[in-house]
Amino acid sequence: MEELLNKIDWAEILKDIGIISIKLILILIAFLIVRAIGGRIINSAFDKAQQRNHMTPGRTQTLRSLTKSIFSYVLIFILVVVVMGTFNINVAGLLAGAGIVGLAIGFGAQGLVSDVVTGFFILLEKQLDVGDYVTTAGFDGIVEETGLRTTHIRGFNGTLHYVPNREIISISNHTRGNMRALVDIGISYDDNIDNAVTVIQNVCDRIAATNENIVDGPNVLGVQALGASDVVLRVIAKTKNDTQWGVERELRKAIKEAFDEHGIEIPYPHQVNVEKKAAN
Amino acid sequence: MEELLNKIDWAEILKDIGIISIKLILILIAFLIVRAIGGRIINSAFDKAQQRNHMTPGRTQTLRSLTKSIFSYVLIFILVVVVMGTFNINVAGLLAGAGIVGLAIGFGAQGLVSDVVTGFFILLEKQLDVGDYVTTAGFDGIVEETGLRTTHIRGFNGTLHYVPNREIISISNHTRGNMRALVDIGISYDDNIDNAVTVIQNVCDRIAATNENIVDGPNVLGVQALGASDVVLRVIAKTKNDTQWGVERELRKAIKEAFDEHGIEIPYPHQVNVEKKAAN
Amino acid sequence: MEELLNKIDWAEILKDIGIISIKLILILIAFLIVRAIGGRIINSAFDKAQQRNHMTPGRTQTLRSLTKSIFSYVLIFILVVVVMGTFNINVAGLLAGAGIVGLAIGFGAQGLVSDVVTGFFILLEKQLDVGDYVTTAGFDGIVEETGLRTTHIRGFNGTLHYVPNREIISISNHTRGNMRALVDIGISYDDNIDNAVTVIQNVCDRIAATNENIVDGPNVLGVQALGASDVVLRVIAKTKNDTQWGVERELRKAIKEAFDEHGIEIPYPHQVNVEKKAAN
Amino acid sequence: MEELLNKIDWAEILKDIGIISIKLILILIAFLIVRAIGGRIINSAFDKAQQRNHMTPGRTQTLRSLTKSIFSYVLIFILVVVVMGTFNINVAGLLAGAGIVGLAIGFGAQGLVSDVVTGFFILLEKQLDVGDYVTTAGFDGIVEETGLRTTHIRGFNGTLHYVPNREIISISNHTRGNMRALVDIGISYDDNIDNAVTVIQNVCDRIAATNENIVDGPNVLGVQALGASDVVLRVIAKTKNDTQWGVERELRKAIKEAFDEHGIEIPYPHQVNVEKKAAN
Amino acid sequence: MEELLNKIDWAEILKDIGIISIKLILILIAFLIVRAIGGRIINSAFDKAQQRNHMTPGRTQTLRSLTKSIFSYVLIFILVVVVMGTFNINVAGLLAGAGIVGLAIGFGAQGLVSDVVTGFFILLEKQLDVGDYVTTAGFDGIVEETGLRTTHIRGFNGTLHYVPNREIISISNHTRGNMRALVDIGISYDDNIDNAVTVIQNVCDRIAATNENIVDGPNVLGVQALGASDVVLRVIAKTKNDTQWGVERELRKAIKEAFDEHGIEIPYPHQVNVEKKAAN
Amino acid sequence: MEELLNKIDWAEILKDIGIISIKLILILIAFLIVRAIGGRIINSAFDKAQQRNHMTPGRTQTLRSLTKSIFSYVLIFILVVVVMGTFNINVAGLLAGAGIVGLAIGFGAQGLVSDVVTGFFILLEKQLDVGDYVTTAGFDGIVEETGLRTTHIRGFNGTLHYVPNREIISISNHTRGNMRALVDIGISYDDNIDNAVTVIQNVCDRIAATNENIVDGPNVLGVQALGASDVVLRVIAKTKNDTQWGVERELRKAIKEAFDEHGIEIPYPHQVNVEKKAAN
Amino acid sequence: MEELLNKIDWAEILKDIGIISIKLILILIAFLIVRAIGGRIINSAFDKAQQRNHMTPGRTQTLRSLTKSIFSYVLIFILVVVVMGTFNINVAGLLAGAGIVGLAIGFGAQGLVSDVVTGFFILLEKQLDVGDYVTTAGFDGIVEETGLRTTHIRGFNGTLHYVPNREIISISNHTRGNMRALVDIGISYDDNIDNAVTVIQNVCDRIAATNENIVDGPNVLGVQALGASDVVLRVIAKTKNDTQWGVERELRKAIKEAFDEHGIEIPYPHQVNVEKKAAN
């Protein structure tokens, strides 16, 4: 036995231990340096972003902690793999094996990652805020909550839509500036166009004077179409946000009443009937 | 023979056995530590989640045991691979080989994983509860059962829809707050708009006073459209959940009867007929 | 020659053979243990599942033998690879090579695996039984056969639809509880709504008393819509499964006859014609 | 030179050759055994399948030779790789290199594999036979040829559709049992429903007695709908395969003539015209 | 220096060179054998295919040279990789590196490969010939050119459609046998069906006697539908290819004229007008 | 120290340097040979292609320089990898690492490669030229510019469509030969068909004589349909490219005027009104 | 101990350190050279591109700094991997492990890369500028902001659409040259076509003389269609960008008034009524 022990090359073992120790120390130092530098870069980046984009501190804080924890998890993962590799444990095989399971789960969880990435940018670029009226992913409504995974949109009939962020491709935000009110009015082919335009424009001017929600117009654009039974005139206005429907309703009522007053007809569908006797 | 045995380097064999033994012990210790820590993290995470989100203990228990068993399976898998690697059995090749079969199965079973991941988040975020009236994956109905793989939705005609969770992208939950009742009423172009509005508003006020399901309104919004044969007025109300259809039905009946009383016409489609003799 | 043979290191060869033999024995033992344990786990799992879900013994048997044969094939595959690896035959390269062909075939056969995985869960969760009337994968009909790869659905016009299980995403099963009968009746704008409702409700009560297929109702819900030419009333009932169409037919006939009796009109489409002379 | 040759370790070379020879022999023996066993398994599997499914010998033969040649190609491929690996030719690298080209081709040829896999199962499960009238992949018609890659369907207007098997997802086979004949008849709102039903049922009974293609019925189901201008009655029958259209035509003609005889009207679309003078 | 050179183990270098030389020679011999055998197999396969499928020599030649050049490129690629591997140049790494670029290009060029594979089979199975009238990939028209990458289809309005072969999934070839002519004729509800059928059948018999493009029929099938305003009778015939439209036109004209002669009406849309006085 | 230096095996170092040098020289020679040969092959291929396809020198030049620069980049890439591999720098690991980033970018840039590959073939096969009127990728218009990445199409309303080449799947080129003019004319059911055909054919012959844009026809094909209110006759002509709309307009005007002259009616939609007294 | 230390082969350690040092220095030099050369190439490429494409300096600057930072990140990544590889830290395994996580994230972040690549080319090729009126990704409107990730489009009703660049496949830019004004006018079948054309052309000439937005025309093209109730004449003009709607409105109004003046009718829909007595 002793003889056997003597044959062991203690020098090489010592050398191995020394090399591994040095490696471990170097790895730890590198790890700490990278973590410190990474943390500072993230902090300063978010400080700058906050100043530039006037983000609320709450929102900045959410994004910052998400970024930091992703950064930490990645670093720790790398540390573990490198340390295991140092002890010659077959990390590659282990990881390849885990890859099979991982890939299957990855495909399933892919949507989750996609949700978070999209959610991150929606928050960062402030494409929607709580309270905005938006159209996205086929849903219309008021945003009630914006999270990293889902956005809650309250539809107009009271339904609450839970939309995963990956479904939010394009966002149509209806709460980002003045809106347009548009009213199309059909008049009879027998009516005088200039006369009708004058009547409508008078109505428009009166409303523009009294309704403070109107920013620009309303104005008659002209003959939008020669329809099957009517000559269509288009009226257009620019209004304050969220008041466009009210302005449109007011315009419709006022124009209808002015037409009644001036004897201008909003025609029903017309049809020319050619009478013929039945042959048999 | 003896001579041959003598040539064997018993020292190296001993060293090998020693190294392997130490490795195995280290691996086992690491395994036990990781399992204990992981279990605690999962427990405390669910305890916190339960407090924060007011989840029922039953639901928390389901999610917690799912999480723990996934965690255990992954750990055991890693343990087996690492131990086999220690005995120099060609794990990488074995796993690569299994990968071919695994990938094929993985593609097939991908839906299953997707179901469970989605199901997990639906349960966690409480996007739907048993008894909710929801629209999702093209189906309308009352949720009868929510599982990790499938959700059962009872349609209104009695059909039971089995929906795999991966099909549940967005959820429109109609049982999450007050709902809106909306009635569009067409009046004749010959009727006075203000008069009709007054009649409707009176009906609305009377119903608002007697029907306790109404939370806000109903109110006449104004002229919603100048239709082909009628001037469309819109009435809108906010009601308690699930009572919106009843309120709409009551509003329709009451407005119709009030119109009859006040001689206001709900017009049929109109057409102007221009008579012409047949040329030949 | 002899000299050459003497140079051969017989000791090492012997050692190699010894190591390989020990490895093979260990592998076989591990294989047998795993097979035995796996078999027992599968058996007990299916026994439990059978008790809990009240599955028929035949269905349980089908699923159990599928599970066992998959388990066996996987074990044998692993055994072969491990044994080949023990003899240092380049399994990894071989498998990688096979992977190219395998991947191409895998993409093609992916549907097959998907069929079996989906079929397994359909059988396990009893989402459809032979004889159920279902809507799935765009087909309507009675299930004639459920297999691991295809489901046969007999359409109502006699066509037999062969549906691969992977096409069966959501299942709408119409044979899972009571169904709803729904009849919409339009009455004239000139008729009294309360009167019509009374007449219909009387009919409903009479039918409810005589038709034992009706579970609940039928009842008049109220004014469902103010249509272009009629006031639409909705009648709703809950019936035993598969009798809803018969009940609807009986309701329609009885209401029509009661209306005739009481002089209530089911109106044709109305149109107001405004006569105008041709201008030219 | 000679000195150099002396330095060569002939013993090791001899040993290498010996080892390689033994390996080759073992590989060949394994190859032959596997081929023999595989061939027998395939043969017996197809013999059993033929007995169980009553397949024609021709079809069985086609599937069997396809299975056998796939099996042979795979075995030869494995043999080549293993033998090359034995000579230490870098198979893995070679295969990885081929993999790049192979993957590109594989994506392109993927459809081909998919065709053959689907074709195999269509033949095996006898989902369609030459001469069947089927609907699949958006085409209607009579199957003229079923192959492993394409299926030829002769449309009713004479067009020949070449359908790759991978396009054949679900098959609706209209030649698998009795078919349903269905005729919807509208009667006037002024006609008596019971009277009309009696007339139609008499026609049905007379046809049922004379037309031997009818298996069950025809019977009047009842009031299918209260249409805009007519009360719709539904007649349904079960007929021998491929005769349903003839039966429907006969039913339509006979019911029309019986209605003429009994003065029951099949009404034209109705409209109520409310006459109004033009206001202006 | 000299001392250093002496230390070099020339024997090993010589051995290495020898081994490499032998390897190279073996590889070249294997390469030549495989090329010769492969070439012969391709030749004989195409000779057989030509005889069996009656393909034109030109088409066979195109497919044969494509097959041969693919075979050559693959062999040369393998040769290069094997030779480089023999010199221990890191082929695997090189190829893996090339793989990244290759995969990116591969995705882009994937369509190209898909084109050629599909084109190969279209030519081989003669699914379309120049001059055929086909419907495929959403285009209707006469095939002007069939290539390995694109097929040119001349639409009926003169447009030339360039269709990549991968877009050609199913082919509907209208030049593969007799076609069907189908004419639906509506007669009045007041006309006698038997009378009308006799008149039409007489017309059909007269045309069948004079028009040599008709292969079978035309015959009156019977009452195809009880339409809103007419009883629809269906006439069907089998005609020579490409003459179906001419036959249909002739049938329509002849039936219309025969109806005029016999006083059978092809009715206009009917509507029943119920006159009502305006209430207000 | 000196002692240590003495222990260094200078011979091996020298040998290593020698081997590396020889390798480098061989690699460079191979590189230069391949580049020269490749360049010549590309040149001659394009020279041939230019002669065969009558391509303009400019277009040939564009394609040639693209091909050459791709070839050069690939060669340089291979050179770098091989040289690095010679110095034992871990290229494989480096490349695998780059692969992760590369794959992510590759997916993103995949569209770019797809654009260039498609663009290459569009230019090579001359599927569209600047000035052609084409329909592709859902856009109609005149091609203004064809590039390797995008094609610019000027729509008829003046809009400029930027279409990435990968969107150009099939191309419908309307500037590749004679076009068809098609006019459908409805005549009254009371008019004589033969008479109308004669009138139209006379008009056609007169136009054919005077309009030099007409290549063939126009001719009356016959009764295209028996419409709801008219008998539809079809006139067809073959015209020079881009003049089909003009010819159709001329035909329509001339036929209308000839019909007026001969008293043939182009009928309005017909309806038979059956008058009925309101029942109540 | 000392004895053990003596056994250590200090020479080899020294040699290792030397080799590593030389490697590191070579790597650094290569890194610096590549960075310098790459930077210059990027600079000169952008300078040329700016001159050739007349890009604004701001836009050039944005693209240049993006290109440079991508180049730097890639270089640093390569540097780190190479240096780690030099210290024999298992980079491959580490990277493969990271690959699993990376791939999952990559799939999620793939959209982000796609956004930037597409955005880069949109900016480079100037397919849209701020202020352009475009149609892309299903949205219509004025471009308000073009970024590397998203493009902001202000719709005409005031909505702000946030469109990720990857959604921008084809761009229809309506601000790239003259636009077309098109007016279709229906005249009565009883009116003389030549007369109507003269009247319209006169109107067109008068407007062309006074409206300076018109570049070419307007002209009457001829009879566009023989409609159900009218003969449709088409008027077409080329206008300055963004004035087409104004020109169309002016044309419609002027033609309508000219028609009134000359007694040309724009006809209502016509219908021939054949009166028939109700049979029963």
Question: Count of CB contacts below 8 A, A vs D?
Answer: 3
Size of interface B-G (CB pairs under 8 A): 4
pLDDT, tens digit, 9 for 90 and up, residues D7-56: 556 666 676 777 777 778 888 888 888 888 888 888 888 787 777 766 66
With contacts defined as CB-CB under 8 Å, which chain D residues touch G279? 265
CA torsion E44→E46→E52→E57, rounded to 10°?
A: -120
Select from 1.10.340.30, 3.40.50.300, 3.30.2000.10, 1.10.287.1260 the CATH code of B9-124: 1.10.287.1260
CA distance F124 to chain E (A): 12
pLDDT one-digit tens code per residue, B159-206: 999 999 888 889 999 998 899 999 999 999 888 999 999 999 999 999
Per-residue model confidence as pLDDT tens digits over A157-202 = 889 999 998 888 899 999 988 999 999 999 998 889 999 999 999 9
How far is the alpha carbon of G137 from chain B, nearest alpha carbon, in Å? 22
Q: Using CB atoms within 10 A of its CB, is residue E58 exposed (0-12), middle (13-18) or buried (19+)?
A: exposed
| Contact D262/G at CB under 8 A | no
Q: If you measure CA to CA, which chain D residue comes closest to C147?
A: D125
Residue G149 DSSP class:
S
Computed over every residue of chain A, the mean pLDDT equals 81
Contacts of B190 in chain D (CB under 8 A): 279
| Res. C7: pLDDT tops 90 | no
Q: Determine contact: G269 vs chain C, CB below 8 A.
A: no
Question: Of the candidates E192, E244, E187, which has an alpha carbon nearest to the alpha carbon of residue E218?
Answer: E244
User: Is residue C6 within 8 angstroms of chain G, CB to CB?
Assistant: no
Angle at the Cα of B231 (from B228 to B235), degrees rounded to 5?
130
Query: Would you list the domain boundaries of chain D?
Result: 8-125, 133-173, 179-262
Of A274, A278, A279, the CB nearest to F268: A274
State the nearest Cα–Cα gap between B61 and chain C, in angstroms: 20
Q: What's the pLDDT score for residue F50?
A: 72
How close, in Å, is residue F181 to chain C by CA atoms? Answer: 36
CB D215, CB D239: distance < 8 Å: yes
Distance CA D174, CA D171 (A): 9
Nearest CA-CA distance, residue B103 and chain F, Å: 19
> How many beta-carbon pairs below 8 A join chains C and F?
3
Rounded to an integer, what is the distance from CA E110 to the centroid of its chain?
19
Amino acid at A207: I
Look at residue C9 in the predicted model and tell me its pLDDT: 62
Which 37-76 residues of chain G touch chain D by CB within 8 A?
none
Whether E273 and chain B come into contact, CB under 8 Å, resolves to no
- Which pLDDT tens digit goes with each residue over F94-153? 554 455 455 555 555 667 777 887 888 888 778 888 889 999 988 999 998 887 788 999
pTM, 2 dp: 0.80
Distance from CA of B144 to the nearest CA of A (A): 19
Residue A107 — pLDDT band, cuts 50, 70, 90? low
**C69-73, C111-115, C242-246, E14-18: the lowest-pLDDT one:** E14-18
Q: Please write down the HEC assignment for all residues of chain C.
A: CHHHHHHCCHHHHHHHHHHHHHHHHHHHHHHHHHHHHHHHHHHHHHHHHHHHHCCCHHHHHHHHHHHHHHHHHHHHHHHHHHHHHHCCCCHHHHHHHHHHHHHHHHHHHHHHHHHHHHHHHHHHHCCCCCCCEEEECCEEEEEEEECCCEEEEECCCCCEEEEEHHHCCCEEECCCCCEEEEEEEEECCCCCHHHHHHHHHHHHHHHHHHCCCEEEEEEEEEEEEECCCCEEEEEEEEECCCCHHHHHHHHHHHHHHHHHHHCCCCCCCEEEEEEEECCC
pLDDT reported for residue A280: 47
User: Which tens digits make up the pLDDT trace of C54-88?
Assistant: 666 666 777 777 778 777 776 776 677 667 666 66
Contact of F108 with E106, CB cutoff 8 Å? no
Q: What are phi and psi of C136, to 5 degrees?
A: -160, 150
The residue among G166 and E7 whose pLDDT is bigger is: G166
pLDDT one-digit tens code per residue, G126-148: 888 888 999 998 899 999 888 77
The overall average pLDDT reported for chain C is 81
Beta pairing, strands A171-173 & A160-164? unpaired
For chain E, which chains pass the contact test of at least 3 CB pairs under 8 Å? A, B, C, D, F, G
For domain D8-125, give its CATH number from 1.10.1760.20, 3.30.565.10, 1.10.287.1260, 3.40.50.970: 1.10.287.1260
Nearest to C252 by CA among C269, C241, C237: C237
Among left, alpha and beta (phi > 0; psi -120 to 50; other), residue B141 is left
Written as one letter, the residue type at F32 is: L
Contacts of F276 in chain D (CB under 8 A): 270
Cα D226 to Cα C256: distance, rounded to the nearest angstrom: 8
What gap in Å lies between CA A248 and CA B36, rounded to an integer? Answer: 66
Query: CA of E265, closest CA in chain A: separation in Å?
Result: 9
**In 10 A of CB G174, how many CB atoms?**
20
Q: Do G272 and B279 touch (CB under 8 A)?
A: no
CATH for E7-124? 1.10.287.1260
Kindly list the distances between the CA atom of residue C164 and the CA atoms of C145, C168, F197, G51, in Å, as whole numbers in the listed order. Answer: 12, 7, 55, 61
* Tokens representing residue F91 in the block: 């290229």
Question: Cα separation of E137 and E133, whole Å?
Answer: 13
G274 touching chain F per CB within 8 A = yes
Distance of alpha carbon G261 from alpha carbon G263, whole angstroms: 6
Residue G248 has, within 13 A of its CA and on its CB side, a CA count of 20
Tell whether the model's pLDDT for residue F55 goes beyond 90: no
Q: Which residues of E touch A279 (CB under 8 A)?
A: 265
Q: Which residue of G has its CA nearest to B278?
A: G272
Q: Does the structure show a pLDDT above 90 at A103?
A: no
User: Domain E133-173 - what CATH class?
Assistant: mainly beta
pLDDT at E280 over 50: no
* Strand (E) or helix (H) holding A69: helix A57-86
Q: List B residues 210-239 in contact with A (Cβ-Cβ < 8 A).
A: 221-226, 228-229, 231, 238
In angstroms, the separation between the Cα of residue E259 and the nearest Cα of chain A is: 13
- Cβ of E269 under 8 Å from any chain A Cβ? no
pLDDT of residue B84: 66
- Residues C236, F253 contacting (CB under 8 angstroms): no
Mean pLDDT over all residues of chain F?
A: 81
Asked if the model's pLDDT at residue E91 lies above 90, the reply is no
Q: Round to whole Å and give the CA distance between A232 and A222.
A: 8
Contact list in C for residue E278 (CB cut-off 8 A) is 272
What is the DSSP secondary structure assignment for residue G102, as one 8-state letter? H
Is C108 near chain F, with CB under 8 Å?
A: no
C121 touches chain E (CB under 8 A): no
Reported ipTM: the value is 0.75
Q: Residue G200: what pLDDT? A: 93
Cα–Cα distance for residue pair A7/C184, rounded to 1 Å: 99
**CB pairs < 8 Å spanning C and D:** 182
The pLDDT value recorded for residue B72 is 79
Vertex F129 angle, CA F126 and F130, to 5°: 160
Nearest CA-CA distance, residue B53 and chain D, Å: 45
What integer is the mean pLDDT of F22-44? 84
CB proximity list for B218: less than 8 A, separation 6 or greater: B181, B183, B204, B207, B208, B235, B236, B237, B247, B251
Residues of B in contact with A270 (CB under 8 A): 271-274
Residue B280: which pLDDT band, with cuts at 50, 70 and 90?
Answer: very low
What pLDDT digit, counting tens, does each position of C214-234 carry? 998 799 998 999 988 889 999
Residue G108 to residue A160: CA distance in whole angstroms: 26
Q: Which residues of C touch D273 (CB under 8 A)?
A: 270-273
List of chain C residues whose C-beta atoms are within 8 Å of the C-beta of residue E276: 270
Just give the CATH number of E179-262. Answer: 3.30.70.100
Q: Where are the beta strands (DSSP E) in E174-230?
A: 179-187, 214-226
**Which site among B223, B270, B276 would you substitute to test the A interface, given the most A Cβ atoms closer than 10 Å to its Cβ?**
B223
User: Which subunits sit against C, judged by 3+ Cβ pairs under 8 A?
Assistant: A, B, D, E, F, G
Distance from CA of B265 to the nearest CA of E (A): 9
List of chain D residues with pLDDT < 70? 1-13, 15, 53-59, 74, 77-78, 81-82, 84-110, 278-280
pLDDT of the residue at E12:
66
Residue G31, chain A, CB below 8 Å: the answer is no
Question: Is the predicted pLDDT of residue E275 greater than 90, yes or no?
Answer: no
Q: Which of residues 125-144 of B touch C (CB under 8 A)?
A: 137-139
B101 CB-near residues (< 8 Å, 6+ apart): C74, C77
Q: G218: cis peptide before it, omega within 30°?
A: yes
Pairing of strands F179-187, F231-239: antiparallel
How far are the Cα atoms of B147, F249, G193, G204, G269 from residue G230, in angstroms, in the given order? 63, 15, 11, 21, 8
Q: Is G174 on the interface with F (CB under 8 A)?
A: yes
CA distance G110 to F213: 54
* F236 within 8 A of F217, measured Cβ to Cβ: yes
Contact residues on chain G for A7, CB-CB shorter than 8 A:
none
* G133: closest chain F residue by CA: F159
As to burial, measured by CB atoms within 10 angstroms (0-12 exposed, 13-18 middle, 19+ buried), residue B229 is middle
Q: Which residues of A touch C276 (CB under 8 A)?
A: 270
Torsion, CA F106, CA F111, CA F117, CA F120, rounded to 10: -140
Q: What does residue E271 show for φ and ψ, rounded to 5 degrees?
A: -150, 135
Residue A149 has pLDDT above 90, yes or no: no
Task: Tell whether A101 lies on the interface with F, counting CB pairs under 8 A.
Answer: no
User: Residue C280: pLDDT band by 50, 70, 90 thresholds?
Assistant: very low
Assess A271–E contact: CB distance below 8 Å, yes or no: no
Contact F272 G274 (CB under 8 A): yes
**Cβ within 8 Å, pair F190-A279:** yes
Instruction: Kindly report the nearest CA distance between residue D109 and chain C, in angstroms.
Output: 8
- What's the mean pLDDT in A81-97? 58
The residue of chain C nearest to residue D197, with distances taken between CA atoms, is C253
Please tell me the predicted confidence (pLDDT) of residue A69. 74
Q: Is C70 exposed, middle or buried (0-12, 13-18, 19+ CB in 10 A)?
A: middle
- The pLDDT value recorded for residue C254 is 93
Query: Could you tell me which residues come within 8 angstroms of residue E205 by beta carbon, excluding any fewer than 6 positions away?
Result: none
Quote the pLDDT of residue C173.
92
Q: Does C273 contact B at CB distance below 8 Å?
A: yes
| Nearest alpha-carbon partner for D141 in D150, D131, D149 | D131
